[in-house]
Structure 1
């Protein structure tokens, strides 16, 4: 009986340790694990096995010299980032996330950290400036992404027109690979943000054209980028801390400096 009780107590102790989200270290700092796919340059990518990009450097600046938190970045396939937040594996997500109502029901958003615009990348000689120009054309998207939702919404709202041919791919099919699929004729276009599209086409030497969408999509949140948190008490505290630091980083010019470094221009001062 005594051994049975000891085993029971040990099991309860171990279970309680597993259920703890993450404990402070010896210095009293809580580890914040930030999930990113490391495949969305210039927002997030890896160079010489080091995390790089605008989002990465913004997050580093937010937590620089923090007495409360320390950072850990983890590369995760895009379509697993949000499920990881749900499971409590990560406390933040940094991956050029846009706003949508479905996402807002489950997650908390930081204040915006950049503002771009939607753009369509296609073969040279073609120009798509409105969503209706994409009618009957084929593309590849990550399921659950903001770009997928924009195209799905257009199809639903325009049943009398030829639907956009949406092919869903996994997070392992990165944006560079999808853009290459335009070059080899597998698909017609990719809808993505203007900053990333222009950067990757230039960086990879792709013979493609990037056209910015000239109509408003998604209302006042169109083109805005955010950091994400779980919708719980811990996420709320982290959201407050991050937003306070973002205001400071905008005021002291850090955000504008990082924007010019990675985007080639100031995409933050008008936020």
Structure 2
């Protein structure tokens, strides 16, 4: 069942996954682009439940969002039809490995960087915490996570950060962000760590919740990429060319301002942001 558009609010990073072509070994010929071009279709993995990156507006059956519209525009510039496969975050990389999809929007870390290739960034951000309004002063540093319960997906970097600083992580499947935030409000969890822009929009969409962003904590710079199979160099070149043109002609800025309340996430933030050691 699809929820109302104003409740479809983000938690994660999304992943563009190029599949359908299978994987190539390190020495295999890169024929991914030829196969995609011949089929005339690019298959993109996306959650479909995460506002404003991938969601269904209220009373609409048409998928939209920042990541969705970027991939539609990339497809248009490459003369390809874009087909979306709705998948939870934890399913994305497995779908890419199996060849079920061709691309997915996501940040990359750890072994993921070695297993896949990825485009230049089209979104820059950093992490923040959502906590109960009357407990803002209880979270003045990351070290205050010790002993707390954090809501998150099982394999995200945000859950890794929570665990690193001593929090227990309550994991969720492919749910909308109102579920995470309501659990903070009702005390089932204490905190949600996630992308700043997504948290900001989530709170705007759910103004009645007694939760807020801790304003003084900014940490873990993150980038969003189009993730593809390891040796698909020509496809990577095509996607990067489209993203470069979209930045230069203002398309990325226009889409960002449309979906992020006037903010340009295609520009690097200048804030003083804490780096976290041993978190990739």
- Normalised by the shorter chain, which TM-score bucket? 0.7 to 0.9
Counterpart of 1:118? 127
Deviation by residue 1:142-191 (Cα, 9 ceiling, x = unmatched): 11112122223x24xxxxxxx211222223x3322111111111000100
Per the TM alignment, residue 101 of structure 1 is displaced from its structure 2 partner at its CA by: 2.1
Is this contact kept in 2: 1:98–1:223, CA < 8 A?
Answer: yes
Is this contact kept in 2: 1:37–1:78, CA < 8 A?
Answer: yes
RMSD, matched Cα: 2.3
1:146 aligns with 2:157: yes
Distance of 1:204 and 1:186 partners within structure 2: 18
How do 1:99-118 residues align onto structure 2 when only pairs under 5 Å count?
Answer: 99-118=108-127
Counterpart of 2:70? 58
Per the TM alignment, residue 193 of structure 1 is displaced from its structure 2 partner at its CA by: 0.5
1:137 aligns with 2:140: no
1:251 aligns with 2:262: no
Instruction: Tell me the TM-score normalised to structure 1 length.
Output: 0.78
1:84 aligns with 2:95: yes
Instruction: Tell me the TM-score normalised to structure 2 length.
Output: 0.76
Distance of 2:190 and 2:155 partners within structure 1: 21
Is this contact kept in 2: 1:117–1:213, CA < 8 A?
Answer: no
Is this contact kept in 1: 2:145–2:162, CA < 8 A?
Answer: no
Per the TM alignment, residue 29 of structure 1 is displaced from its structure 2 partner at its CA by: 4.5
Structure 1 or 2: more helix by fraction: 1
- Return the index of the structure with the highest Cα Rg: 1
Is this contact kept in 2: 1:118–1:212, CA < 8 A?
Answer: no
Q: State the aligned residue count.
A: 234
Contiguous gaps of at least 5 residues in structure 1: 1-18, 156-162
Distance of 1:212 and 1:228 partners within structure 2: 31
Distance of 1:28 and 1:229 partners within structure 2: 18
Counterpart of 2:274? none
Contiguous gaps of at least 5 residues in structure 2: 1-19, 23-31, 270-280
